[in-house]
């Protein structure tokens, strides 16, 4: 039965301390059309050759000086990373115990010496078919994993796009805040780094904190854009933006949406319990909300709003320091001080929506 072209391109390594056996097997394989044939009579070279050439099949003698076939298979198992040790054992020891030990060591098949050419080629053909199918399956799995990763990345990009558009929608309702949402994301990422949070968490802050005020979409213009102090009744309505934002983001399956929901709900909670909407205090406030609270107040104090002029940045810095341990988590306030040079750079560098 003729061998397929793909099979004839398979690499085969012969390991036998008898030169005549290596020569015989090499000639048999060449006569069948194989071209990628390696041979060695030194069993200590089997593992290096295996690592270098990645053969599809190893024809391995068991009884050899210096290192027997069992030791060779132990070395090969340390090199093989595809979960399939392609070894066909060739030996004059055909007893049941030797066979069992060979299979336990990783051999896939077993042929007794002296060789029968037809049997050897049939066994080689059979093992190569399994080996090539196994490699094809590994390649398909790798391609599938790549597609899954690409699709996951596309979904994450889509989620980020939706988050950005939601943040923009909220910001356009209150145009005088300028690039407030963009700055908040960058402030919070920098604060996270100053707190020692990992890069992934800091990136999560970057993408989710801009949605802290998404609930302002639900606040009437007569209150949101009022050019002056709010009445107590109007202030109660304004405070509902935290719950509205959390409701807009509720039910999200992704970590991004869940984190954004938490931030929208808790960024006005205060360390001493005087905040809203839940009156949470201290570490009962999620860390993401505590971080956003500092960034939000810092930017809001230094920004012009319809109801107030912009205050000097120094005044905003002092507001955070005075609020440490009262309004703000003291650890986050300390992180704010450490990150202050970068925060002021962000403040100066992000000034328009286009940034």
| The pLDDT of residue 3 is above 60 | no
* Lowest-pLDDT range of 31-45, 175-189, 197-211: 175-189
* Domain 174-349 annotated CATH 1.10.3210.10: yes
Average of per-residue pLDDT values in the chain: 85
What pLDDT is attached to residue 264?
Answer: 95
Q: By C-alpha distance, which of 245, 310, 303, 307 is closest to 276?
A: 245
Q: Write 162-166 long-range contacts (CB < 8 A, 24+).
A: 163/207, 163/208, 163/210, 163/211, 163/256, 163/257, 163/260, 164/210, 166/211, 166/214, 166/248
Cβ contacts of residue 76 below 8 Å, gap of 6+?
A: 46, 47, 50, 58, 85, 87, 106
pLDDT band at residue 268 using 50, 70 and 90 as cut-offs: very high
At what angle are helices 330-349 and 180-194 packed, to 10 degrees?
130
**Domain positions in the chain:** 5-144, 174-349
- Quick: pLDDT tens for 189-219: 999 999 999 999 999 999 899 989 989 888 9
Strand ranges across the sheet with 57-61: 36-40, 11-15, 57-61, 87-91, 109-112
- Three-state SS string across 17-56, please? CCHHHHHHHHHHHHHHCCCEEEEECCHHHHHHHHHHHCCC
Q: Can you tell me the mean pLDDT for 302-321? A: 87
d(CA 149, CA 159): 15
| The pLDDT of residue 239 is above 80 | yes
| The pLDDT of residue 164 is above 50 | yes
CATH class for the domain made up of 5-144: alpha beta
Whether 174-349 and 5-144 are alike in CATH topology: the answer is: no
- Quick: pLDDT tens for 13-25: 999 988 998 999 9
What pLDDT is attached to residue 351?
Answer: 41
pTM, whole model, 2 decimals?
A: 0.59
């Amino acid at each position: 039965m003729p061998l397929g072209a793909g099979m004839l391109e398979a690499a085969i390594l012969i390991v036998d301390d008898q030169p005549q056996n290596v020569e015989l097997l090499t000639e048999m394989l060449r006569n069948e059309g194989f071209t990628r044939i390696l041979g060695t009579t030194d069993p200590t070279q089997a593992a290096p050759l295996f690592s270098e050439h990645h053969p599809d099949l190893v024809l391995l003698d068991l009884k050899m000086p210096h290192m027997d076939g069992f030791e060779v298979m132990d070395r090969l198992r340390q090199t093989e990373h595809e979960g399939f040790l392609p070894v066909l054992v060739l030996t004059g020891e055909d007893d049941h115990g030797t066979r069992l030990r060979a299979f336990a060591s990783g051999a896939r098949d077993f042929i007794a010496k002296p060789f029968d050419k037809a049997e050897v080629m049939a066994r080689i053909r059979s093992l190569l078919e399994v080996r090539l199918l196994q490699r094809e399956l590994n390649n398909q799995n790798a391609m599938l994993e790549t597609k899954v990763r690409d699709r996951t990345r596309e979904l994450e990009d889509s989620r980020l796009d939706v988050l950005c558009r939601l943040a923009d929608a909220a910001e356009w309702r209150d145009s005088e805040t300028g690039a407030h949402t963009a700055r908040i994301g960058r402030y919070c990422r920098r604060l996270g780094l100053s707190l020692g949070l990992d890069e992934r968490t800091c990136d999560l802050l970057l993408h989710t904190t801009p949605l802290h005020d998404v609930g302002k979409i639900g606040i009437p213009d007569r209150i949101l854009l009022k050019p002056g102090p709010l009445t107590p009744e109007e202030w109660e309505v304004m405070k509902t933006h935290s719950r509205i934002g959390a409701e807009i983001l509720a039910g999200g399956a992704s970590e991004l949406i869940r984190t954004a929901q938490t931030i929208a709900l808790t960024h006005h909670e205060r360390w001493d319990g005087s905040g809203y909407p839940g009156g949470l205090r201290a570490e009962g406030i999620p860390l993401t909300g505590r971080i956003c609270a500092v960034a939000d107040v810092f930017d809001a104090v230094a920004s012009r709003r319809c109801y107030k002029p912009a205050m000097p940045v120094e005044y905003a810095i002092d507001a955070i320091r005075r609020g440490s341990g009262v309004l703000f988590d003291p650890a986050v306030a300390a992180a704010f001080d450490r990150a202050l040079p970068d925060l002021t750079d962000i403040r100066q560098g992000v000034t328009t929506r286009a940034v």
